[in-house]
Amino acid sequence: MNQEKRDYCLNCIHKPCQLNGCPIQNRIPEFIKETDEEKAYEIVTSTTLLGAVCGRICPFSKQCEGLCTRGKMGKPVDIGGIEAEICDNAIKKGFKISKNINLELQDKKVAIIGGGPSGLECAGFLAREGVKVTIYERHSELGGILTHGIPEFRLEKTITTQTINQILELGIDVKYNQALGENLTIEELQNKYDAIYLAIGANEPNMTLEGNNIYSANELLEYRNFPDLKNKKVIINGGGNVAMDAARTIKHLGADVTIVYRRSENEMPASKEEIEETKADNVKIEYLTNILEYKENIAKCIKTELVEVENSTRKVPRNIPNSEFEIISDYIVLATGSLPNIKSIEKFEKNEKGYIKVNEKYQTSLEKVFAGGDIIGTNSTVAFAISDGLKASKAIKEYLVK
């Protein structure tokens, strides 16, 4: 990294990028200013083992770079690019994630259920202190959304693979094709391990419309089971990053794509970067629009307006009477959120939204079992899932030595 990039950072005393902008609280000014490449990598991996990924896919404008002091005067520091560069360089030069063996933890065994971002982060931070960690993964490869949900044009698979391999080199065992509620039970793991971290995500589609030719965005992105979409008209319903990923992926397959979102662009959960990239791919976006029903290749829509609602910090969309219109579409793809798989978590106490209930230490209602990420209803970005994994690893270590 050249010195000009380092000098552009003001090294603010209050560190808004780190303390207020980053869910993981990465030591951003420190790794930017560090001139020793291996030490810079040590700083990055002191808080996350997935820096190469975060540096590419985090919603920077809403997190670290959005609070960068430089940004108030013009262009923010390229925090994501610098983090990715440090991690890429570490892999090229053979730097390893450091270990810090804790003798009190050496004989402890922990099972991680789910090999996505949250599970990998938790597994890595436990393993580097000497815990014997086994990941149980329902697929034939690790990564979760990194491998099965984020398109290649946003995150190259080689980056994900290299990052995961760095973590596994800490001595982590992996058992593939193991799914909770199918061929794996909590009881057998409770009998075998000292603690369990559940990070299986929330992968069940929230199907808000009924009819033929309606797909879940998560399922399409995960299994790549696309129909022939060349010259077809496709509606994407939703405004988050998954909606943008689905829209761009389907556009690249030759379809005419329209995103329908019931709020305005300012309310879109998707990052500014993703929205702009989606527009650059010539995807049309219908804001303030709600889909009422879909029949015979016609989506009946209605315009909406945003209204204040008591006890809500966010304006709520309300249908505008007599504003109905139609959009012709061969397919509809729903990107309106995901729900937990009920079968896999039926024995857990849940909150009012159906997610697993945890306390401030990420402990569930079941003995020895901790949980984090989407399965507890965490803000569904990779950074927040990683943050849960990091915090849960600390809570599990406390639990193991008590």
pLDDT digits (tens, 9 = 90+) for 348-381: 999 988 899 999 999 999 999 999 999 999 877 8
Strands 338-339 and 331-334: unpaired
Q: Where are the domains of the chain?
A: 3-93, 109-202+340-401, 205-334
Contacts of 349 (CB under 8 A, 6+ apart): 356, 357, 364, 365
Indicate the angle between helix axes 117-127 and 382-401, nearest 10 degrees: 40
- For residue 258, give both structure tokens: 């329209």
Angle, alpha carbons 17-378-184 (nearest 5°):
130
In this chain, the answer to whether the domains covering 3-93 and 205-334 adopt an identical fold is no
Q: How much is the pLDDT for 227?
A: 80
Q: How much is the pLDDT for 5?
A: 84
Strands 338-339 and 204-205: antiparallel
Separation of alpha carbons 384 and 372, rounded Å:
10
Number of C-beta neighbours around residue 4 at 10 A: 7
Q: How much is the pLDDT for 240?
A: 94
Distances (CA, A) of 161 to 96, 301, 386: 15, 42, 17
Q: How much is the pLDDT for 176?
A: 98
Q: What fold characterizes domain 3-93?
A: Fumarate Reductase Iron-sulfur Protein; Chain B, domain 2 (1.10.1060)
- Give the residue ranges of the chain where pLDDT is below 70: none
Q: How much is the pLDDT for 136?
A: 99
Residue type, 349: E
- For residue 116, give both structure tokens: 């996505």
Which tens digit of pLDDT belongs to each residue from 76-117? 999 999 999 999 999 999 999 999 999 999 999 999 999 999
Contact by Cβ (8 Å): 211, 231: no
Q: What is the pTM of this model?
A: 0.93
- For residue 243, give both structure tokens: 């909606």
**Full 3-state SS string of 6-51:** HHHCCCCCCCHHHHCCCCCCCCHHHHHHCCCHHHHHHHHCCCCCCH
Which residue carries 């945003």 as its tokens? 306
- CATH code assigned to 109-202+340-401: 3.50.50.60
The CATH-assigned architecture of domain 205-334 is 3-Layer(bba) Sandwich (3.50)
Q: Give me the residues paired with residue 319 across strands.
A: 304
